[in-house]
Chain A
Amino acid sequence: MLKIEQRTEPSKVMLYATPLLALILTILSGFFLFTLMGKDPLQATKMFFFEPLTSFYNISELMVKAAPLILIGLGLSAGFKAGVWNIGAEGQFTIGAIAGSAVALYFYEMEGFYILPLMCLAGMLGGMAWAAIPALLRTRFNTNEILVSLMLVYVSTLLLNVLVHGPMKDPEGMNFPQSRLFSDSALLPLLMEDGRAHIGFVVALIFVGIAWVIQERHIIGFQIKVSGQADGAAKYAGFSSKKLVWMTFLFSGGLAGLAGIFEAAGPVGQLVPALPVGYGFTAIIVAFLGRLNPVGILLGGLLMALTYIGGENAQISLNLPSATTSVFQGLLLFFLLATDILINYQIKWLSVAKPSVKSN
């Protein structure tokens, strides 16, 4: 018989082993899913999880997709750790892209080294402003931040649509709902001659370092940890919970906004209605996958990017629907949460004692 028993101390081994276990379980269910869909499971699994690493082009695409996931995941993890649930990173991403693009269009056909930094600044401020709404409502009126930040995702998508159909529409674009193509000074420098990998990936790596320092060496990181694990102790120590809500929301909103303008000024090169593709939601998985730890998030972001590219490749060559990727991502999060139990609890086999007297 199975019995679940609480551990006296969380298991360190399990903390790092469970993400791997979850990944293996996801791949196994992928096998099952592919077979159900009538595809060769071995080939499809290879296509999804290994093929993306085999070509130079794919690796550069991996960086394109990983950059926003890592940036947003880092921001969100700070909040999640403190028990502040910013679920609306997708909206902050969109507003960041809009704000940064507004700067790019304002300086259209002008040259200057200052344009790109200004765009990034505008993107971050845009994301922060959008994140400030749930932060304000939570701290002023105690309004649930999950629902508010999520509602704002829908609002931001509609706002993007209004803008690309109206004020930000390309005047020479045959009435297509999209902005002008950014001029050269407003485009992110590429990392390599070939492919679309851009400087945003390097910025994401820098932020991994910054986030690590904050978490391990700074008093704010400590306050976040304590507030998430023992709210009472945090209050007793005099940590302001309002300040934490503000800080984590502004941090995550700013990084999501930065990811948004990177997407517009990087691989896309203009503002289009289809710009938000769900990185803000996938980054939630990335944050959990990475155990809310900056280095873990780097790895989690790369892994999630892998499934995006694997999904795209499988769509083209195996005719698999694009939704397969989101099913995998959802499954991965399920398995990750489910295997978490191994950290705080032990599963024991109880040998059921056989009745000594045989009943006749």
Chain B
Amino acid sequence: MELFTSIFVGIIIAATPLVFAAIGEVVVERSGVLNLGVEGMIIIGALAGFAFTVETGSFSLGVIASMVAGAAMAFLFAVLTQSLMTNQVATGLALTMFGLGLSALLGQGYSGKSVPTFPKVDIPYLSDLPFIGDLFFKFDILVYLSIALVIGVLWFFEKTRTGLTVRAIGDNHHAAHSIGYSVKKYRYLTIMFGGACAGIGGAYLSLVLTPLWVENMSSGRGWIALALVVFGAWQPVRAMLGAYLFGGITILQLHSQGFGITIDPQLLSMLPYLATIVVLVLISRETVKSKMRSPACLGTPFYASQ
């Protein structure tokens, strides 16, 4: 039982940065924009969250800083792709390179520093329940926030008028423009929302998962989050489940020795990346279906001629 609990809890915690980043990107892509700079926004969020927590001693300020930093990076992307109509693929790559470089530069003084343990919630009665309490009611607040975010985004797209507008812009920006919606304004907002989500995902890395600052500590999670969006067919809940699947792979890798698997740990570290490829292949095999599900204007720039 105890092993089961620790594996379950480990999966959720390992997956939470991916949940945040992937949900943010779902919103961005549903509005028709492909931001490949998730990795860069995560790493900047990770540094901002860590640095502000170290300097102020407050986790709340750290988390807020990570969101602001992620959104600021995203704003840069929005200015370039929406106002200056740059190529989204190249701009996203530039954002990733810039984020990795800038975080290494600004983060120099923070390697080796530490933050206190991120507090877990303590819900009266629920957290004390045997087994169930350990499984579901002893996480940190950010885990619940990530789940609330998934539900919120789902509700936003299915039940609100604004959500419908965002989807319309993603599927046909010219039509949305011609009936009077400002494509640019909505896209600026979704892009920055995606940045804030990636930022908080980064903060989860540097404050909870491995409470440290290390250069390049995002180690490809931004790219895995992008793959999860495709895996989730642009549906928030499916993307979240995909993230938990990846959390499972990470935990499998950590616990492998416990299970008596004696493979070179470096080989096992390849698992998440290989799994991403396998998942992408399985998803994209159904070409027609997956094309129907993806936002029709994904990645194409919009220029209003009037």
Interface residues of A (CB under 8 A from B): 6, 85, 87, 133, 137, 141-144, 146-148, 150-152, 154-155, 158-159, 161-162, 165-166, 281, 284-285, 288, 321-331, 333-334, 337-338, 340-341, 345
Contact indicator B84/A338 (Cβ below 8 Å) = yes
Within 8 A of A (CB), among B100-115: 100-102, 104-105, 108
Contact indicator B274/A155 (Cβ below 8 Å) = yes
Contact indicator B97/A148 (Cβ below 8 Å) = no
**B86 within 8 Å of A (CB atoms):** yes
Interface string of B89-128 (1 = CB under 8 A from A): 1110111011111101100100000000000000000000
Per the bound structure, the CA–CA distance linking A6 and B276 in Å amounts to 40
Contact indicator B85/A87 (Cβ below 8 Å) = no
In the complex, the chain A residue whose C-beta lies closest to that of B303 is A6
Task: Tell whether A143 pairs with B94 under 8 Å between CB atoms, given A85-B89, A323-B101.
Answer: no
Task: Tell whether A159 pairs with B270 under 8 Å between CB atoms, given A151-B223, A337-B80.
Answer: yes
Which residues of chain B come closer than 8 Å to A341, judged between CB atoms?
84-86
Max chain B C-beta neighbours (<10 A), residue from A137, A143, A324: A143
In the complex, the chain B residue whose C-beta lies closest to that of A147 is B227
Contact indicator A146/B97 (Cβ below 8 Å) = no
Which residues of chain B come closer than 8 Å to A324, judged between CB atoms?
101, 105
Task: Tell whether A161 pairs with B266 under 8 Å between CB atoms, given A284-B93, A327-B102, A337-B80.
Answer: yes
**B145 within 8 Å of A (CB atoms):** no
**Count of CB-CB pairs between chains A and B under 8 Å:** 133
A-B contact pairs, 23 of them (CB 8 A): A141-B287, A142-B285, A143-B284, A144-B227, A144-B230, A146-B36, A146-B89, A147-B227, A148-B280, A151-B220, A154-B270, A158-B266, A158-B269, A165-B264, A166-B264, A284-B93, A285-B97, A323-B108, A324-B105, A329-B97, A337-B91, A340-B86, A340-B87
The answer, among B94, B97, B104, for a CB contact under 8 Å with A321, is: B104
Task: Tell whether A158 pairs with B267 under 8 Å between CB atoms, given A323-B101, A334-B80.
Answer: yes
Tell me the count of chain B residues lying within 8 A, CB to CB, of chain A.
46
Contact indicator A338/B80 (Cβ below 8 Å) = yes
Within 8 A of A (CB), among B31-86: 36, 76, 80, 84-86
**B132 within 8 Å of A (CB atoms):** no
In the complex, the chain A residue whose C-beta lies closest to that of B87 is A337
Which residues of chain A come closer than 8 Å to B290, judged between CB atoms?
142
Which residues of chain A come closer than 8 Å to B281, judged between CB atoms?
137, 141, 143
Per the bound structure, the CA–CA distance linking A329 and B284 in Å amounts to 34
Task: Tell whether A281 pairs with B80 under 8 Å between CB atoms, given A6-B303, A146-B89.
Answer: no
Which residues of chain B come closer than 8 Å to A159, judged between CB atoms?
270
Per the bound structure, the CA–CA distance linking A143 and B89 in Å amounts to 16
Per the bound structure, the CA–CA distance linking A152 and B278 in Å amounts to 12
Task: Tell whether A147 pairs with B97 under 8 Å between CB atoms, given A330-B102, A337-B87, A340-B86.
Answer: no
Task: Tell whether A137 pairs with B277 under 8 Å between CB atoms, given A326-B100, A327-B102.
Answer: yes
In the complex, the chain B residue whose C-beta lies closest to that of A281 is B97
Which residues of chain A come closer than 8 Å to B85, judged between CB atoms?
341, 345
**B226 within 8 Å of A (CB atoms):** yes
